[in-house]
Amino acid sequence: MKRGLSDGCYGVFSTLANPTRIAILERLQDGPLNVSGMATLLEQEQSMISHNLKLLEKCNFISSERQGKEKYVFVNESTVPALFALVETHARNSCEVTGGLSLWHVISMMARACESLLL
């Protein structure tokens, strides 16, 4: 049963409930990267990075532009840093079990909570 949450809530948190996507967003907060550079930094195949970038772009967490043969990816500065800060503050102040939990773990828990409310 829905309790005032939209499908958008589930979509946002389920998109973020993936360690690779969180790692991508964390890296992009330091500045734009090209896809091949990101694959090297995260030690993952370029095809896996590209797959995850498509999902992040669909939710407008990132944008991209071509510069010659390279595709550069930029974090959405108007929402991602604030979202990360909010999640970290919430986890620190409100979650019973936060010791040692990563941002990804906290967001995964929030995604499951949204999913259960939508059922």
Instruction: Look up the CATH number of the domain holding residue 45.
Output: 1.10.10.10
Strand (E) or helix (H) holding 67:
strand 62-67
Report pLDDT for 113.
56
Distance CA 65, CA 61 (A): 14
Q: Quick check: is 1 in a domain?
A: no
Residues of the domain holding 111: 7-118
Residue 15, pLDDT > 90, answer no
Residue 102, pLDDT > 70, answer no
How many structural domains does the chain have? 1
27-74 residue pLDDT tens: 999 999 999 999 999 999 999 999 999 999 999 999 999 999 999 999
Helix, strand, or coil (residue 32): coil
Q: Quick check: is 57 in a domain?
A: yes
Q: Quick check: is 46 in a domain?
A: yes
Distance CA 81, CA 85 (A): 6
Distance CA 89, CA 106 (A): 11
DSSP 98-118: -TT--HHHHHHHHHHHHHHHH
Best CA proximity match to 58, nearest among 5, 119, 11, 107: 11
67-81 residue pLDDT tens: 999 999 999 999 988
Q: Quick check: is 2 in a domain?
A: no
Average pLDDT over residues 5-24: 81
Average pLDDT over residues 15-23: 88
Question: Which tokens sit at 111?
Answer: 């995604």
